Chains A and B, each alone.
Chain A
Amino acid sequence: MNFELSGEDAAFRDEVRAWFADHREQIEHTRAVDWEAGGEAFERYRAWERALFEAGLGAVTWPVEYGGRGASMVQQAILNEEYTLADAPNRINRLGLGLLGPTLMVYGTPEQKARHLPRILACDEIWCQGYSEPNAGSDLASLRTRAVREGDEFVVNGQKIWTSLGRFGDWIFTLVRTDPAAPKHKGITFLLVDMHSPGIEVRPLIQIDGSARFAEVFFTDVRVPVANVVGRVDDGWTVAMALLGFERGGGLYGPALFNRILRDVVELSRREPRGEGVAADDPDVRRRVAQSYIETRVYELTVQRALTRLARGEAPGPEASLNKLYWSEMKVRLDELALDILGPRAELGPGSPQAENDGGWYGDYLYARASTIFAGTSEVQKNIIAQRVLGLPRE
């Protein structure tokens, strides 16, 4: 047992840290706008992705043959930590880089790999994920978007929802039903669709924070070449679950973010007036701050245990559900603590002179509320833990 980085990993950390320091200006320039505004703002984020790509930091765990540097999961975690510490911009192509890319490497045809992997890496193609539908959320396999084969093409009709980056996507990887007569997990096909195809309509969805980071995507007689099927026709569930494995394996959410939020919460409690003094004098606040320290510290340690296993080549298993359940629920508690420390001031939104951080704590809190829903709700994670870790019987 030791907590020192190996020489190689320490060198990698130093390289990454130095690179971020050298790109301070570009980081600030990019973060000065929100990609959601579109146009030039979005292009700043694309330029940032290209800078990462050119530095060999775009997709470090991708194998060298696909343009990555074959870095380990530990190095990916180091990069994630440095990324957070550098306050670097949100990644606009993480769905392509983190999910579709690795899936194509396993299930894609040589043509699909040659066509898409370099464009994902260079951020020439922005990818969206077309899984959820209005009536297929946690019960994903009940999806109803249809694809009917006509010669060398599929004709797609239906609707996807909660599509992140939907307004900006060039391509979308979708699950479509190709055999309605088969049991629901069969008869699904994993299909790559060009979002510039005729018959695709994207409608922005305004979220509870007022932004439009996701969208609905409607398909009306959209023609897609059969060559865009990943894996076998009617066997898309296998590919979909493999992709989910990459999402969970790569999704060891970086502890640095939570450590920083905690530091900010402590700082807030030291100066927020409470009675005659400040919030930090209140024993209830102190107790909750201490509990938040405990939870963030234990999270960091648990991630280090998981990384040790991944570094040995053990595949990420259903334990990933424990990780997601832990951090998403902890994040809500952290943000709730910040709002409670602010008291009535917490509800003051952007533009209010008395708002703390221009209402940012409330925005973070709202986003945290999404994290217990997306990528498998807390309830779905608990089902997975109960059935696949504890071995309890299905209903």
Chain B
Amino acid sequence: MDFDFSSEQYLLRDTVRDLLRRECTPGAVRAAWASESGRSPERWRKLADLGVVGLTVAEEHGGAGMDEVDLVLILEEAGRSLLPEPLLETTAVGAPLLARSGSDTLRAEWLPRIAAGDATVTVGLAGSPYVADATADLVVLERQGALHAVTQDRLTLQPLRSVDRARRLFSVTAELGDDTLLSTSAAVARWAFDHAAAATAAELVGVAGAMLDMTVAYVKQREQFGRRIGSFQAVQHKLAETLLLVDSARSAVYYAAWALANDTPDASIAASVAKAYASDAERRANAEALQLHGGIGFTWEHDLHLWLKRGKALELQYGDADLHRRRIADWIYATAG
């Protein structure tokens, strides 16, 4: 038994972390809030050059041929740094979905360009009122139980404004036909949803971890009543409880990645466990981060709200904690007693 990552996996994580520390600072995220597209082609290019964008694309298509376990630590870093670009949609869901269900032609056309950083793919699954990054070159849409792969010439996009302005959301109208059909399999749709939920859980752990670190650093230096507020037991206990939730969430998230990578019988449930637990853990970190920062955390000027808003968005996408609890309950009670 070895429930840990290899030194190579940690090395890749550290490399990505270093890149994002330089390229995805809070200032850069604010720039994404303010810019027209909200996206940095330069940053995407650097991630592609590192092999991150094509991480899950097979080597024959120019990718790194790695799996969900290799990717999960990277997604955690994307969450930690509030990466605006659609790594989750492209690398965690879109590209693997094309590889799994696309025709040879579709795969040969898109996967090499995705891996090279020349094309992005996003997904709009059932249950979501919007599609994130719908300006992507290819949009996979779930409509009436079928998955379609649609190019921009068949789409009409209506931009929606998210409270987290680094998120670029659109309502999408598509001209679908037999020529856009990717899959009618419910198992494939479920597979896509599981991947999206598990990847979102990984980002949530990154967001929550960043908020916890910021808050611990803040209470170590903020003084009231003549002492650092981090010395108060009321403050210490909130942060201890939050750490327990965030660190436990990592167990769930890492296992879900392994279960999906190995296509285990419990992979769907593992994804639901991860998304439910990580959503709740992030919710707690979100609450305590603002509460313990006090008034300064409620200002536009302080960076905390960038994390608060991303965290809240991710809590609710691809099934909130309650949806995943319902899914788990249905599975428990469907199993023979």
Contacts and interface: CB of A to CB of B under 8 A. Distances in A.
A305 interface: yes
Given A1-B2, A390-B216, A293 B251 contact: no
B184 interface: no
Contacts of A390: 216, 236, 239-240, 243
Closest 4 CB pairs of A and B: A386-B236, A301-B251, A385-B240, A286-B329
Contact of A287 (B1, B2, B254, B325): B325
Interface stretch (A2-10, A170-178, A229-237): A2-10
A382 B252 contact: no
A371 B228 CA distance: 32
Contact of B332 (A1, A266, A311): A266
Interface string B235-264: 111011101100111111011001000000
B234 to A, nearest CB: 11
A291 interface: yes
25 contacts: A1-B4, A4-B1, A9-B1, A267-B337, A270-B333, A286-B326, A287-B322, A290-B326, A290-B332, A291-B325, A294-B328, A298-B252, A298-B277, A299-B248, A301-B3, A301-B252, A305-B254, A322-B243, A382-B240, A383-B233, A383-B240, A385-B243, A386-B240, A392-B230, A392-B239
Contacts of B236: 382-383, 386-387, 390, 392
Interface of B: 1-6, 69, 216, 219-220, 227-228, 230-233, 235-237, 239-241, 243-244, 247-252, 254-255, 258, 273, 276-277, 322, 325-326, 328-329, 332-333, 337
Given A287-B325, A392-B239, A302 B251 contact: yes
A293 B328 contact: yes
Contacts of A301: 3, 251-252, 254-255
Contact of A1 (B3, B228, B244): B3
Interface residues of A, number: 47
A221 to B, nearest CB: 41
A308 interface: yes
A372 to B, nearest CB: 13
B1 A308 contact: yes
B220 A298 contact: no
Nearest to A286: B329
Nearest to B4: A308
B288 to A, nearest CB: 12
Interface in A300-331: 301-302, 304-305, 307-309, 311, 322, 325-326
Interface string A204-247: 00000000000000000000000000000000000000000000
B100 to A, nearest CB: 22
Residue of B5, B276, B333 with most chain A CB atoms under a 10 A cut-off: B333
A322 B244 contact: yes
Given A74-B1, A309-B4, 20 more contacts: A1-B2, A1-B5, A1-B69, A267-B337, A270-B337, A286-B326, A290-B329, A293-B328, A294-B273, A298-B252, A301-B255, A304-B251, A305-B3, A383-B233, A389-B240, A390-B240, A392-B219, A392-B230, A393-B230, A395-B232
Contacts of B252: 294, 297-298, 301
Given A3-B3, A6-B1, A290-B329, A386 B239 contact: yes
A299 B249 CA distance: 10
Interface of A: 1-6, 9, 74, 266-267, 270, 280, 286-287, 289-291, 293-294, 297-299, 301-302, 304-305, 307-309, 311, 322, 325-326, 379, 381-383, 385-387, 389-395
Contacts of B249: 298
B244 A385 contact: yes
Given A287-B326, A322-B244, A393-B220, A386 B237 contact: yes
A353 B327 CA distance: 37
B73 to A, nearest CB: 11
